[in-house]
Amino acid sequence: MSNKKPRQVDTSLRQFIKDLGYISGGAALLATTPWLQSFTPDKAKEIKSEKARIGFIGTGSRGQYSIHAVLAIPHAEIVALCDNYAPNLKTASALCPKAKTYTDYRKMLESPDIDGVIISTPLYLHAPMTLDALAAGKHVYCEKAMALTMDQCKSVYDAYQNTDKVLYFCMQRMFDEKYIKGMQMIHSGLIGDIVGERCHWFRNHDWRRPVPSQDLERHINWRLYWESSAGLMTELASHQLEVCCWAMQKVPESVIGVGDIVYWKDGREVYDSVNLVYHYNNGVKINYESLISNKYNGMEDQILGNKGSMNLATGNYYLENEESSKRSGIEQLIDNIGNKIYASVPAAGPSWRPETKEKYVPYNILEGNFNVNDGLSMIGALKDGSDEILSSFCQACITGEKGKNIVEEAYSATMLCLLGNQAMSEQRKITFPEEYKIPYMKFS
């Protein structure tokens, strides 16, 4: 047995959603976050003492991260574990000694004692396992991204339209308080009209994991090869592109980009550096950048408006027209001297102009203490919405209530990632293909 104590799931999000609805008007809040309508204190009371019977497909690092979360959810129990890699299955079994173990997920899906499955496997397995689980009559929660190919995405989406089962994808920012409140502020007009979006995610890690034998290289280091991975786009950008579409309430119509292997020249195939520009029909652009050989800039999700800027990742916003920016240049200078920013008056006083930009004053999106994810972890971060979306899924396994728009948001984000990879591979502008558009998507 592991000596680690399972963490407690923070259930305050339910009350936060309810309170925010009172403040902003429930209808206004749920208009842009409809997936939250079932995640309230009142809904939690409805499930009483019932427990969702959960099976895990994939028990590696992310799977074990989610196991710890589910162990702390009062309305869930883990009854089955499946993995074809013995060391991972053994570790997971120590965490859940009562759970039945499998090495073939299809055998596990035959069990009538499982309500829902949580899929934490390499990307290339997401679509086939999701489709098999839905066909077996199970509710499904799958890690992002939705699928490895555009055709697979469409197949999963179509299957969901023809099932009464619940399907969730781990787009955890949709359950993160900073993002929920920040989006409410954006959509209420706090930062004015959105004029640009800038997102980046920087790490300094090669993604490579040690392998006990070379024949397991592609099994363990699946992220490094195009046959099993879509690289930085689906692993990182999927979260951030979803946020951009959420803020704009529509989808970009085209993308251009450049991808390269700049530093990790170790036999991998996927890019370790990507730069892309997504273009909305009104001229607003998403500038996206990611690399994994320098972590200085960390992770940010910036929504830029003509009246202010929102950095959802850090939980701050900044206003363009602060009262202090209207002061004259000499007033700014005197104030800075008074605050001992300068030891003496600069000799080139006349060059101090009123239009010189002062440092923006940061305001917190949330009151009190809140968690900020620096984006450096390969596995996950506490209080980033992951626990809450798992809790919502387990609740849905009991009630059968589908998470409104979760599949559609995951589909849109994944498609944008895959189109970005296509743009980089073919070195040309890619327009969103008509055959992959779904009714949920708005382009204008």
Q: Letter for the amino acid at 384?
A: D
Task: Yes or no: say if 277 and 256 are a contact pair by the CB < 8 Å rule.
Answer: yes
Q: Do the domain assignments include residue 286? A: no
Q: What is the DSSP string of 243-266?
A: HHHHHHTS--SEEEEEEE--S--S
Residue 55 lies in domain: 12-174+384-399
pLDDT for 323 equals 53
Task: Quick: pLDDT tens for 71-96.
Answer: 999 999 999 999 999 999 999 999 99
pLDDT exceeds 90 at position 12: no
Q: Do the domain assignments include residue 253? A: no
pLDDT exceeds 60 at position 350: no
Q: Do the domain assignments include residue 330? A: no
Q: Do the domain assignments include residue 190? A: no
Task: Quick: pLDDT tens for 92-132.
Answer: 999 999 999 999 999 999 999 999 999 999 999 999 999 99
pLDDT for 354 equals 39
Instruction: CATH number of the domain at 103, please.
Output: 3.40.50.720
Q: Do the domain assignments include residue 48? A: yes
Give the pLDDT band of residue 1 (cuts 50, 70, 90): very low
Provide the mean pLDDT of the chain.
89
Q: Do the domain assignments include residue 258? A: no
Cis peptide, bond prior to residue 145, ω within 30 of zero: yes
pLDDT exceeds 50 at position 344: no
Q: How many domains does one find in the chain?
A: 1
Q: How many Cβ atoms sit within 10 Å of the Cβ of residue 421?
A: 25
pLDDT exceeds 60 at position 152: yes
Give the pLDDT band of residue 415 (cuts 50, 70, 90): very high
Percent of the chain with pLDDT over 70: 88
Percent of the chain with pLDDT over 90: 77
Which range, of 275-279, 361-365, 377-381, 409-413, averages the lowest pLDDT?
A: 377-381
pLDDT exceeds 80 at position 337: no
Q: Do the domain assignments include residue 413? A: no
Q: Do the domain assignments include residue 291? A: no
Torsion of CA 190, 192, 197, 199, to 10 degrees: -20
